A = this chain, B = another copy of it.
Amino acid sequence: MTRPARRRRRDRGGGIPQPPWRRLVNAYAPIEVLSADQVESIHRASLRILEEIGMEFLSDEALDVLAAAGADVDRETRRVRLDRGLVEGAIARAPAEFTLHARNPARDVTLGGTHLAFCPVGSPPNVSDLDRGRRPGSFADFCDLVRLAQSLQTLHFFGGYPVEPADLPVATRHLDCHRAFITLTDRVWHVYSLSRQRIDDGIAMAAIARGIDREALAASPGLITVVNTNSPLRFDGPMSEGVMAMARAGQAVVVTPFTLAGAMSPVTLAGALAQQNAEALAGIALAQIARPGAPVVYGGFTSNVDMKSGAPAFGTPEYAKAALAGGQLARRYRLPYRSSNANAANAVDAQAAYESAMSLWAAVMGHANMVLHAAGWLEGGLVASFEKMVIDADMLGMMAAFLEPLEVTDETLALEAIREVGPGGHFFGAAHTLARYETAFHAPMVSDWRNFETWEEAGAQTATRRANGIWKRLLAEFEPPPIDPAVVEALDDFVARRKRDEGGRTA
């Protein structure tokens, strides 16, 4: 058949096929691994954990806030016991759905219900690509990964730093990273809950970026933070305070217990899920006590360790079941749900892909609303990989196409085309085909469907090698999204002033 016109899709990045950025809705019924009774058993067990065993909060302010709300607080051990009425009352105040506002309103995303959004990998210490190998992350890598994620139309917003820029001073690193998020992308971005000051800076910069004040920002949240509990049953100081500060500012908080079954949680999935649920509910309750109605997300991250070595494993059958069960629990409370696209491979190979596929199917069919680490994660989160980011983005594109409804109409049933072609014919030249072939099927970036001989003559490149070529082309052709120069100037002033403050304090 003849080659179709090339520019049928928005060809971002020099002809690399990508459907345009778009919001996703998941109309499939979720896969349920738990019966309704089992969901209730896990729910009841987690309430007993909070009531009878309790959680440690290492922040004095969190202890005050929780005590004032009626929790049983032991100041000496920092152990907080929360009765079920307190927990259930607090959780009930959380919105089932909320919208995160980007500086470009065309990139706003809604979390909750049947909405689905993908985020690049968050916060690995290392970075890797085929040319330069594995190395600690730098700010140059941070910016390149931000540019790459902005170029990939299947990624909706930033749920973390795509790599930790270890070459920047710790005290002011966040100022440079926030500025890079705002100027290199037009999407929603992330602040760390590592100190009150960092969150305040993030809020100030987000307000500048959108040309609004803090009250308007609180009414139209545009920042998100992801908080991990120190499982089992402990909330550290900065995380506790970050939850409260973000909630009070009306910005979104994702509470994700890191419950590795057999290490930080029971070896049985039911027990790990009960503990995950207890810890997530405790964090969400803290946010709702700090500000009723604050936007929150229930995070699930239960996986298992390799019982031979104790090493964390991801994308395992147990991981998939836990991710699906986590969705059932989040829906039990009408809370938006966060899952991940995780794997434990050391190279961008078949293992990286099949473990990711297990994680991704479980995230999507578990009705995750936010999939963190959806592109670029390698080595159980220790590395951000440029090639993996491209391959994952292609897997996300396939998932997005999979979510498009199958249309059954007289025209798509094509009885007349079948009659016209008849037994033994072919459909290549049929009018029904010619009218539709340019947009009939999803066009991937990475997959190579040429025959073996053609592929071999062209250099026999693996998918990972092709992904290497794609990220380089996308970066070479990157253009930052338009931004008002006055906004950049105001940001630069803010960053300069804050760096002077920090310099004065730490010099």
Query: A interface vs B, CB < 8 Å?
Result: 1, 3-4, 28-29, 31-34, 38, 41-42, 45, 48-49, 52-56, 79, 134, 230, 232-234, 261-271, 274-275, 304-313, 316-318, 320-321, 325, 344-358, 361, 365, 379-380, 382-383, 391, 394-395, 398-399, 401-402, 404-409, 411-415, 417-419, 421-428, 430, 432-433, 436-438, 440-444, 446-452, 455-456, 460, 462-464, 467
Please name all residues of chain B whose beta carbon is closer than 8 Å to the beta carbon of A418 when the two chains form the complex.
49, 53, 232-233, 265-266, 271, 274-275
Contacts A344-B447, A353-B350, A357-B354; A417 near B266 (Cβ below 8 A): yes
Are A442 and B402 in contact (CB-based, < 8 A)?
Answer: no
**Given B270, B383, B426, B438, which contacts A412 in the complex, CB threshold below 8 Å?**
B270
Chain B residue at minimum C-beta to C-beta distance from A348: B350
Are B353 and A442 in contact (CB-based, < 8 A)?
Answer: no
Expressed in whole angstroms, the minimum distance between the Cβ of A320 and any Cβ of chain B is 5
A55 to B423, CA, bound (A): 6
A105 to B246, CA, bound (A): 63
A355 to B212, CA, bound (A): 45
Chain B residue at minimum C-beta to C-beta distance from A344: B449
Expressed in whole angstroms, the minimum distance between the Cβ of A29 and any Cβ of chain B is 7
Are B307 and A437 in contact (CB-based, < 8 A)?
Answer: yes
Please name all residues of chain B whose beta carbon is closer than 8 Å to the beta carbon of A358 when the two chains form the complex.
357, 398, 402
Contacts A418-B53, A440-B262; A232 near B308 (Cβ below 8 A): no
Are B460 and A346 in contact (CB-based, < 8 A)?
Answer: yes
A248 to B160, CA, bound (A): 64
Are B45 and A406 in contact (CB-based, < 8 A)?
Answer: no
Are B267 and A436 in contact (CB-based, < 8 A)?
Answer: yes
Contacts A4-B308, A361-B361; A441 near B351 (Cβ below 8 A): no
Please name all residues of chain B whose beta carbon is closer than 8 Å to the beta carbon of A402 when the two chains form the complex.
317, 320-321, 358
Are B28 and A28 in contact (CB-based, < 8 A)?
Answer: no
Chain B residue at minimum C-beta to C-beta distance from A80: B423
Expressed in whole angstroms, the minimum distance between the Cβ of A337 and any Cβ of chain B is 17
Contacts A31-B28, A349-B464, A395-B354; A406 near B304 (Cβ below 8 A): no
Contacts A309-B450, A415-B274, A455-B346; A33 near B406 (Cβ below 8 A): yes
A354 to B394, CA, bound (A): 10
Please name all residues of chain B whose beta carbon is closer than 8 Å to the beta carbon of A425 when the two chains form the complex.
232
Expressed in whole angstroms, the minimum distance between the Cβ of A166 and any Cβ of chain B is 17
Please name all residues of chain B whose beta carbon is closer than 8 Å to the beta carbon of A447 when the two chains form the complex.
313, 344-345, 351, 355
Are B268 and A412 in contact (CB-based, < 8 A)?
Answer: yes
Can you list 22 A-B contacts with CB-CB less than 8 angstroms, sorted by A residue number? A34-B406, A53-B423, A232-B424, A233-B424, A266-B433, A267-B440, A305-B441, A310-B428, A312-B449, A316-B442, A320-B402, A345-B447, A346-B450, A346-B452, A346-B455, A349-B353, A349-B463, A350-B352, A351-B462, A354-B395, A379-B451, A380-B449
Expressed in whole angstroms, the minimum distance between the Cβ of A229 and any Cβ of chain B is 10
